[in-house]
Amino acid sequence: MGSTPRLPVTDDVETNVGADFESLEQAATWYAALHAEGEGGPQHKAWGEWLAASPQHRRAWAHVESVSRRFEPLRAHGEGEREAAVAAARVAAKQAAGRRRALACLAALGGTGLTAWLTWQFTPMSDLVMAWRADYHTRVGEQRDVVLADGTRVWINTDSALDVEYDDTRRLLTLKAGEILVDTGADPRARPFYVDTRHGRMQALGTRFTVRQTASFTELAVFEGLVEIRTRSGMTERVSAGKQRSFTGDTISSAAAADPAREAWSRGVILADDISLAALINELGRYQRGHIGVDPRVANIRVVGRFPTGNPEQVLAMLARDLPVSIRRTLPWWTTVEPR
């Protein structure tokens, strides 16, 4: 299998810093071409010139490498799948000559190992350790519904990890990552019910609510009852039914109407109620591995509909059918929604 040149890690290249859309797409195209060509091919010099032309190019290349590297351990899965990967990259590299034909070829590779490659679940080691240690966890695209000892029902969304600790004095859920929907049970011992995240603690006062934790904030949406937020710094606010707030370790946002989409996922639905295509794709990206981006020329198209969380490919097909967009796959794990 051909290999691509590795970008040295330097202070000015951060894989978590977003590059502009055009640079990311160019980087993905270069990755496909170089991966198919192998080491020392004639395109390497042109790639090096492109890379040196802009810091954005270096950031974009680092990001493509970061995403693509997650799929490389599949090499241990057998020669047939490696050959399928090479073929997929070669097809993608020729997309300028015929995108429709390339997509057809990619689909045809499903029987030669590419399907297994695309569905192979990769998780960075730190996340794996967290998931292994959590009482409950889900993979990307997986959802779970569990009933706890007191009758509390918890729905666990994609790529999430949750610890449960019940004792004589309290009921505590600790959301390590991701998102949950909680429908609290009636406790005969009247123990308080808490949900902790890295940003603070929420106390449920007989209620149904969702909690989503990101790296920078926690989002709480209350659908029944009342929930009190206490941030790490000690700030407190109560959130009533029909409202939602976001908070960090030392700030709490103003209240807004609870978004029904924050509950709809528990029924396997991504709910789009007049949101931008970019927002929909951002949500869809939580349910599949790899990169999915939106061309700025179509990012602001408004979308209304209900889409299945369990079938991202179906969602993309629905969008291509109903909107003036098409779906391009520069690499099997790199998808772009662009103008038709």
Domain coordinates in residue numbering, the chain: 21-119, 125-262, 268-339
Longest dimension (CA), the chain: 73
pLDDT 10s digits, 13-63:
333 445 788 988 888 888 888 877 666 667 888 888 898 988 899 888 888
Can you give the pLDDT at residue 63?
83
**pLDDT higher than threshold 90 for residue 298:** yes
Mean pLDDT of 191-219: 96
Residue 77 pLDDT > 70: no
Q: Assign 3-state DSSP to the chain and report helix, strand, coil percentages, each to 5.
A: 35, 30, 35
CATH class of 268-339: alpha beta
pLDDT of 135 > 80? The answer is yes
328 within 8 A of 90, measured Cβ to Cβ: no
**When comparing pLDDT for 95 and 320, which is higher?**
320
Residue 35's Cα: distance from chain center in Å? 25
What is the phi-psi region of residue 327: left when phi exceeds 0, alpha when psi lies from -120 to 50, beta otherwise? beta
Mean pLDDT of 127-137: 73
Least confident of 33-42, 293-302, 315-324: 33-42
Between 169-173, 205-209, 219-223, 256-260, the lowest mean confidence (pLDDT) is in: 205-209
pLDDT level of residue 223 (50, 70, 90 thresholds):
very high
pLDDT tens readout for residues 165-183: 999 999 999 999 999 999 9
**Nearest residue to 292 via CA among 326, 322, 337:** 337
DSSP state of 111: G
State the average pLDDT over residues 104-124.
38
- CB crowding 304-330: b at 16 or more within 10 Å, else e: eeebebeebeebbeebeeebebbbbbb
Contact between 203 and 228 (Cβ < 8 Å): yes
pLDDT at 272: 95
pLDDT band of 8, cuts 50, 70, 90: very low
Which CA distances in Å does 67 have to 55, 110, 125, 230? 19, 21, 14, 36
What pLDDT was estimated at residue 154? 98
How confident is the model over 115-121, as a mean pLDDT?
Answer: 36
260 and 271 in contact (C-beta within 8 Å)? yes
Q: Which CATH architecture has domain 125-262?
A: Sandwich (2.60)
